[in-house]
Structure formats: structure tokens, C-alpha cells
Chain A
Amino acid sequence: MALDDSNKTRVFKVVGTRPDRPDGIDKVTGRARFGADMVAPGMLTGRILRSPHAHARILRIDASKAEALPGVKAVVTRADFGDVPDHVADIMENCMAGEKALYDGHAIAAVAAISPAVARQALRLIEVEYDVLPHVTDVDEAMKPDAPVLHEGRQQETVPPGMSQNVIARSEFGHGDIEAGLKQADRVLERTYRTAATHQGYIEPHACLATMSADGQGDLWVCTQGHYMVRNTCAAILGLEQGQLRVTASEIGGGFGGKTTVFLEPVALMLAKKSGRPVKMVMSRSEVLRATGPTSSTSIDVKIGMRKDGKITAAYAELRYQGGAWPGSPVNMGAMSGFAPYDLENVKTVGWDVVTNRPKAAAYRAPGAPMAAFAIESAIDELAKGFGLDPLAVRLMNGADEGTKSSYGPTYPAIGLKATLEAAHKHPHWTAPLGKNQGRGVACGFWFNFGGDTCVSLNVTPDGTVTVSEGNPDIGGSRASMTMMAAEELGIPYDQVRTIIADTGSLGQNEVTDGSRVTFAVGLATIEAARSAKREMCRRAAMIWGIDEQAVEWEDGAARPAGPNAGKFPPMTIKEIAAVASNTGGPIAGHHEVTAEGAGVSFATHMVDVEVDPDTGATKILRYTVFQDAGKAVHPSYVEGQFQGGAVQGIGWALNEEYIYGEDGILQNAGFLDYRIPVASDLPMIDTVILEIPNPGHPYGVRGVGETSIVPPLAAVANAVSEAAGVRMTQLPMSPPRVLAAIQAGG
């Protein structure tokens, strides 16, 4: 569905305002029910036994003592699941280990018992005999020919012969001639950058409540970014029919990509099936950190040639991402996105997908892109500053625009990169004075955005108010956005619409809440559903007036004759039409089903000031401004919130967050004490500037905004710290010991 031409000049009535979110009162009073807040009569507690080894063959599991413990109602191991279809085989293995434990925290067995205390005791009674194997957790180490191998036979043909079996795939993107381009450069910069694995860090641990009947009907309550995905995946693993498993999404306490797969859910269903009772499972924080989520750690080589006027003549990057114990790191997205902000004649990226003895990487907000942007935006910054050039001007000179052939293939339609750079350049932040030991950094970021399968149903009630049913959990205010778009399209007040998140039995397939897709794709489907309801209401009015339905139009919440020739009838409001619906053909509804395309890429430029304490290496964030294209900001407060939240997650990634593994392959910081996400006192206000370059692929011009905001901050902060410390930082996190060591080595 294309952007309506009328919308270029359209004056929105609801879209662009800042109403209270419909779930606000529930969420400020504690009434909202999240994953762990549900109970069922006769409910058992489920718990998981986890591997204490990074890599070990499982020789024997003896659960007989646990099974004999009074109060234990079921024990589950991998054997209970049998063979599963190929497309869920790795997910199954991650939920419950088969032959080998592949990382510290890998699930080995599970119990359901009458209380948490009994469940805990039962886990201790399960005997597991391991043959401990050599392990590898570092991406560069894992690629070495003599590294311990996780899987045999998973390597793809894209990988040249002779490399470790841990190297799963090689990918390549770009165009032009790198060598020829480098020859035109006045300087060629080559650097290697490294980033640590970070976790999504959502505050709500994974939780679910499963019921499974002997006849194959199941119910699952779960905190997830996509309950349809949970249904489909669990059905495949347990051999159920999708229609027999109803999944209801709880309120969700953050996800950021980390709740786009399953961990507990198939196990809870299996425990429920074996015990014949509802089973609730809730992870501890340490389980969350050891066994869910994180993103890749990376090692990236960049080689960029630049002329002394700032023109980039060639751009090359080689990216190595470890994705944990199974194939599927987000390296391709990194390789595709890193140079995407630029209009380059010669560009090439090579990506390597590598497995290690770490938890399987899950999506994390713009998966793969922040690390690539860190490396590339650092290199561009260093080159620009080396020539004494303005780093924003250099980015503007090389910046992509409408018609640019992107580094990953497609040619861009209207995009907002240059608008963000120009806004940054004229913002007072750019020229504000800096003090001693302070530095300013900028960086650009790109994200693809996504559409996908979407299904929305909109019902007009007999009193003329409206309910919208959508299938994506409200993770940050999307009920408000859908309500606003439905109200806008129907021409009725915001408070006349209520949006609910329907369970999997109530709507067709919906893609998970990922790719910043919800406001775009679900919004698009909501608008189309409203349009179909409007058409129906116009038809009913036409019937009542006895005129042709083509002669009726919808405006301001009412059907009206479309012109003087249509007849003289007073407008019929939605309430009036709804009140007589039983006499005109029955209930009125609209619905829309689509695989949404045209998501519209999004760009941002971030600017940050820092101060580095030269005696301790500690970095303080002094000022931060986000400039991002939102297409059209439906609810600007929540758009700002996405910008701010992404920026701060990026600050955490840049400065302190990291997975720390010991020599033994055991995660050393599986808690919020030492996995250090930013706290309120670490930060200044995060200023935002919303740019609106309409997305041609959405009727109101909306682009996804959720992910782009985490792409630039790693590099922006690194560029600022490097300036403040007087030494180029190429490794994340820029923790105080690392910065101090760099200062001491450099000075």
C-alpha cells in the first residue's frame, strides 16, 4: 500500500498528538499482568537443571531419585521430545540438550513439583555424568584450525576448505572495485575492532504457564514478542496441530529481540503433558543471562580509503561474529548495514558466521548492526579527523540519498540520512564549547525495518465504539499507536477505540514483534481494516438513503452524500449506523490480512559529549542528542522514548556491558550486579530531534523507529571518548581499566 498523495499535505487530527496510552492505568497501578503474574488451579512449579560445563558430552542422566521424591510430578529430558522437524532442531537443542551440553547454563533436564522448594531439591537429585570436552568462547580462537569443534558437518559450501568446522558460513556484499578505489585514496586506514557480547537486559525474566490435555489441546500464557511464533514453534517441537495450541501473550516486560524465540515454553508444555497439571516456569536472572539472549561478540577488520577532501574512494570490512552454540549469528545484517548510510562506488563486506561455546545468540535490537557501525563509523571518524575535516561534513559528502545504490544491493527511495546530518549540523549541540578532558563524537546508523505477516480485525460495536484486535504484544505503547491510527482513519475520537492483543485463536498469523515492524505493518493493517469498515458503513448508509453506494463518502466519523447530485441527506454518524446495523445486514467489521512490504529504511545521526577522567579512565556522558527519521511520528512521546532507550542501551554497550567468561568457559557475571546496564545516575537527559521524511510504503508515511537508535551510539561514544582521552579506542566495552591502560600506553 503506497503513501497516499493526500497525506503529503494531510492535516492529521489524532496522529502526531500525545494521548494517554490505553494500558497506562493498569501499568501504573500494578494491575497489568506480566508473564509471572498468572496462576492456575493445581499449578505446579517447573525448574530447569543446567550444565555447569561449557562443553561436555552427556553420558548418562539418572532422574530416578528425583522422580521418587514426594511432590515431584514430572521429569523431562531431551529423550521425551523424540525427533523433531529440522526447522526447529536447533531451537529444540537449545531448549534441552541432547548428546552434548554446548555452553554453561545449557538446559539438561527439567522437573515439575508441588512447590519451588521441592523442585529445587529434585534438581539436586538428578545425576548427570558428563565427559567434559575442550571449549572455545572467543570468536577468533574458534576460527583457528585446531580449535575445539562444536558440530561436525554444519559448515556450508561458502566456506573455503581448511577452516575450522566452527566457521559455518561466509557471506559477501557490495559492488565496485576495492583495489582500484584504494589507489585513488590519499590515505588508507586499516584497523581491527572488537566488541563484547551483550544481553538485551529486559527487566522481566522469561515466564510462562502451560496447560496440556491428553487430547492434544494446549494453552500457554507467556511473555513473548510473538505468541504466534511461540505457537508454531512449540507445535512443531511437540508434534501438535497449531490450531490445537492456543497461546496468549501476557504483558511483556521488555524484549529488545530477546523474546523472539522460545526457551522454557516447549519444556513447560511437556511437563504439563507428563504431569497432567498446569506448570508455571519463571527464570531467575542468572538463568536469563546464562541461557537466553545475548548478542554476538565480534572481531571486525575495516579498510577504508579517503581522499583528503573527505571523499571515500573504497570501503571494505571483514566481520567475524560468533553466534553462540548454533549457526545463525547476525553477521549478514552487520555486513549489509555497516556501509548502508553511504553512497559508495567501491564497497565490499565479507561476513563469517562462527559457533562457540556460548548461549545461542538471539536477536538484539537491530541485530548485528551496532557492532558493524562501531567499526566503520570509528574508521570514518579517524580518517576525517586525520585530515582536519568536519566529521559531519564528511558524512554528508558521502551520504546516501534517494537513488543511491546501497552497499547491500537495493536502490533507495526517499530516505532521511542527510536530513539527520543537516539537523545535527545546525543544532546548538554541535557548536557548544567543550572543556578539558572532554570530547564530542558523532556517528550514523541504519536499519532495514521490516513488515511481514500481519492480521488485524476491527469491530464496530452496537453503540458505535470500536475495538481493534491485533496480534503483536504491546512492548512500548503500540496499543496507543493502533488506537490512534484507527481513530484517525475513522474520524472518531481516540477514546472511542480500544485496542486489544488477541490470542492465537482469534486472528490469523502474525509475525513476531521484530524489525521495528509493529507501528508500520500493524498500523498499515489497522488503517486498511478501518477503511474496509468505512466502506461497509458507507454501503449501509447508501442502503438506508436508497442511493448508490459510490455516492457516499466518509468524513469526520460519518457517512455523507458525496456531492450535491447524490441527494440531500444529513450525515449518518458511526453511532447512528451502528445502532441500526441489525436491520441493515448485521454486525459491522473490517479486517485486513497482509504480508506487509515497503517498510522503509531508517537512518539516524547521534551526537554525544563525554568527559574522561585521565586518572581513572572513567567516562561520564555529559550530553546526548539523537537525530532520527521517523517517517511520520504517530505518538511522538513514544517515538522519543524509542530514540532515548536505544541510545542508552548503546551507551551501556559502549562503556560497561559485557559477557565475561573465565578460562573455564563459565560466565562470571550472570547477574545485574556485574552485568552492568546503565543506571539513572549514569546519564544526562537524552535530547531528541524527530525528522519526518514520509515512507512511501505506508499510507501515513510511517517508518519503524525502534531499532535504528541503537546502531550509532557505540561508535558515537567511542569517537567522543577517543577525542577526550587523546587515544583511539577500538575495543568495547571502553571500561575504565581499558581506557586507563590506553591512556597510559598512549601518553
Chain B
Amino acid sequence: MSRIHVTTTINGDATEFLCEAEATLLDVLRDELGLTGTKEGCGTGDCGACSVTVDGRLVCSCLMLGAEAEGREITTIEGMATGERLHPLQKKFIEMAALQCGICTPGILVAAKSLLERNPDPSEEEVRYWLAGNLCRCTGYDKIIRAVMETAADMRRAS
């Protein structure tokens, strides 16, 4: 069983890795590259904890093979803050207690960032439907939705 050589970009860094044909992008991120911020909650695309973006498009990294990453640009939760500077969503999530256990948080942040890049002024309903694929069992979603809406408002004011 020979491994596949993949050249890709992860959080802006040119990256090479070897992977088995059946390895998912999630397996590669976590087990080969040590990027364990991306979580596995189900492995079947039902929980969103493994959310990343590929060429700017939000996907479940458990539903994509590592080999498919060839030539793509991948962004994970580890690429969200710039050095010490947190993304406004990250800051707001802490400030508004939009996390309890924190396991779904990386996926939700990646998904929410992707939403605000497309739609800087989403309605509550739009936020809820965009995030419907990100399960959270702790919060009842209330504070998450509020944090995304408030971040959007802050970012609109700042721009």
C-alpha cells in the first residue's frame, strides 16, 4: 500500500504530506499534521465539528479525502487568529460565553466566519440555517447565535 504525496496550502503555509488513499482530510490534519483543533464528532458529516474551508468553501473535512487536497487552499481553526490577535468572532465567543465545553467551538467559528465573509448582515434565521450542520449539545445555541449576530454588527460598524 503506497502512500500518496500531496502538496497543498494550509492556513497560508505551503504544506506537503503523505497519506493513505482512504485517509480523510480530517485524519490528515489531526494525525499527520498535528492540527487537532479540527474535531471529529461523528465522521459522517452530521455534526460539523470538523468544519474547514477548501478554496474558501465550507466543508466537512471528514467527508473529503486527504488526497483531494492537492493544490487546494485549506483553512482550519488554527488559521483564524493572526498571531496574538483573535478574530472578532473568537473574541466575541469568549466575551458572550458562547461556548460551554468547547468541542463544537472550532467548527462553529470556522462556519460562522465563512458565513460573515459571504453575508455581512445575516438575519437570525440565516445564521441559524447556516449553522444547522454544526451540532452543539451544551448551549441550546442561543449565545452562539447572538455572538455571531453581534460580531457581524461590530464588523459592519468597523468597515
Q: Which residues of A contact B (CB under 8 A)?
A: 18, 20-21, 23-25, 27-34, 36-37, 117, 200-205, 251-256, 282, 284-285, 475-477, 635, 637-638, 640-641, 644-649, 671-673, 677-681, 683, 685-686
* B137 engages A645 (CB within 8 Å): yes
B46 — which chain A residues lie within 8 A by C-beta? Answer: 285, 671-673
11 sample A-B contacts, Cβ–Cβ < 8 Å, listed by A number? A28-B80, A28-B86, A28-B94, A29-B80, A36-B30, A37-B30, A282-B40, A640-B142, A641-B138, A641-B139, A681-B125
A29-B86, A117-B20, A475-B100 given as contacts; is B139 within 8 A of A204 (CB)?
A: no
CA distance A171 to B23 in the complex (A): 52
Nearest residue (CB) in A for B87 is A28
Closest CB in chain B relative to A199 CB, distance in Å: 10
* B44 engages A671 (CB within 8 Å): yes
Those 6 A-B pairs whose CB atoms lie nearest each other, nearest first: A30-B37, A253-B103, A648-B140, A27-B102, A637-B97, A24-B94
Nearest residue (CB) in A for B100 is A476
**Other contacts beyond A253-B102, A685-B142: 15, CB < 8 A:** A18-B97, A23-B102, A24-B94, A28-B90, A28-B102, A203-B41, A203-B101, A203-B137, A284-B43, A285-B43, A476-B100, A637-B143, A641-B139, A641-B140, A680-B136
* A638 engages B100 (CB within 8 Å): yes
Cβ-defined partner of A203 (8 Å) among B94, B103, B132: B103
CA distance A29 to B95 in the complex (A): 14
Q: Mask for B50-90, Cβ within 8 A of A = 1, else 0?
A: 00000000000000000000000000111011000010001
* B41 engages A205 (CB within 8 Å): yes
B138 — which chain A residues lie within 8 A by C-beta? Answer: 254, 476, 641, 645
The A-contacting residues of B in range 125-159, CB under 8 angstroms, are 125, 127-129, 131-146
Q: Which residues of B contact A (CB under 8 A)?
A: 20, 22, 30, 35-44, 46-47, 49, 76-78, 80-81, 86, 90, 93-97, 99-106, 109, 124-125, 127-129, 131-146
Cβ-defined partner of B102 (8 Å) among A251, A637, A649, A683: A251
* B42 engages A285 (CB within 8 Å): yes
Closest CB in chain B relative to A454 CB, distance in Å: 21
Cβ-defined partner of A680 (8 Å) among B44, B80, B109, B128: B128
Closest CB in chain A relative to B42 CB, distance in Å: 4
A251-B102, A637-B97 given as contacts; is B36 within 8 A of A37 (CB)?
A: yes
B142 — which chain A residues lie within 8 A by C-beta? Answer: 640, 644, 683, 685-686
CA distance A255 to B103 in the complex (A): 11
* A253 engages B101 (CB within 8 Å): yes
CA distance A282 to B42 in the complex (A): 11
CA distance A186 to B111 in the complex (A): 57
Nearest residue (CB) in A for B20 is A117
B106 — which chain A residues lie within 8 A by C-beta? Answer: 28, 30
* B101 engages A681 (CB within 8 Å): no
B104 — which chain A residues lie within 8 A by C-beta? Answer: 203, 253
CA distance A282 to B134 in the complex (A): 21
B137 — which chain A residues lie within 8 A by C-beta? Answer: 200-203, 254, 256, 645, 649, 677
CA distance A477 to B98 in the complex (A): 11
* B97 engages A477 (CB within 8 Å): yes
A30-B78, A648-B140, A683-B140 given as contacts; is B39 within 8 A of A204 (CB)?
A: yes
* B43 engages A31 (CB within 8 Å): no
Nearest residue (CB) in A for B131 is A680
Closest CB in chain B relative to A541 CB, distance in Å: 37
B134 — which chain A residues lie within 8 A by C-beta? Answer: 680
A30-B78, A284-B43, A672-B44 given as contacts; is B139 within 8 A of A202 (CB)?
A: no
* B81 engages A29 (CB within 8 Å): yes
B133 — which chain A residues lie within 8 A by C-beta? Answer: 679
* A641 engages B100 (CB within 8 Å): yes
A28-B94, A30-B78 given as contacts; is B36 within 8 A of A681 (CB)?
A: no
A644 — which chain B residues lie within 8 A by C-beta? Answer: 139-140, 142-143
* B109 engages A28 (CB within 8 Å): yes
Cβ-defined partner of B86 (8 Å) among A25, A637, A647, A686: A25
Among B46, B102, B133, B145, find the residue whose CB has the most chain A CB atoms closer than 10 A: B102
* A672 engages B90 (CB within 8 Å): no
Among A20, A29, A637, find the residue whose CB has the most chain B CB atoms closer than 10 A: A29
CA distance A282 to B125 in the complex (A): 35
A29 — which chain B residues lie within 8 A by C-beta? Answer: 37, 77-78, 80-81, 86, 90
Nearest residue (CB) in B for A473 is B101
B76 — which chain A residues lie within 8 A by C-beta? Answer: 30
Among B44, B124, B141, find the residue whose CB has the most chain A CB atoms closer than 10 A: B141
CA distance A649 to B42 in the complex (A): 18
Cβ-defined partner of B103 (8 Å) among A20, A254, A683: A254
* A683 engages B97 (CB within 8 Å): no
Cβ-defined partner of B135 (8 Å) among A21, A24, A640, A672: A672
Nearest residue (CB) in B for A639 is B97
* B102 engages A638 (CB within 8 Å): no
A649 — which chain B residues lie within 8 A by C-beta? Answer: 137, 140
B129 — which chain A residues lie within 8 A by C-beta? Answer: 680-681
* A33 engages B36 (CB within 8 Å): yes
Closest CB in chain B relative to A671 CB, distance in Å: 6
CA distance A649 to B138 in the complex (A): 8
B101 — which chain A residues lie within 8 A by C-beta? Answer: 202-204, 251-255, 475-476
* B143 engages A641 (CB within 8 Å): yes
CA distance A685 to B21 in the complex (A): 44
B86 — which chain A residues lie within 8 A by C-beta? Answer: 25, 28-29
B22 — which chain A residues lie within 8 A by C-beta? Answer: 117
B30 — which chain A residues lie within 8 A by C-beta? Answer: 36-37
* B99 engages A285 (CB within 8 Å): no
Closest CB in chain B relative to A730 CB, distance in Å: 26
A637 — which chain B residues lie within 8 A by C-beta? Answer: 96-97, 143
* B145 engages A680 (CB within 8 Å): yes
Nearest residue (CB) in B for A31 is B37
A28 — which chain B residues lie within 8 A by C-beta? Answer: 80, 86, 90, 93-94, 99, 102, 105-106, 109
CA distance A574 to B135 in the complex (A): 45
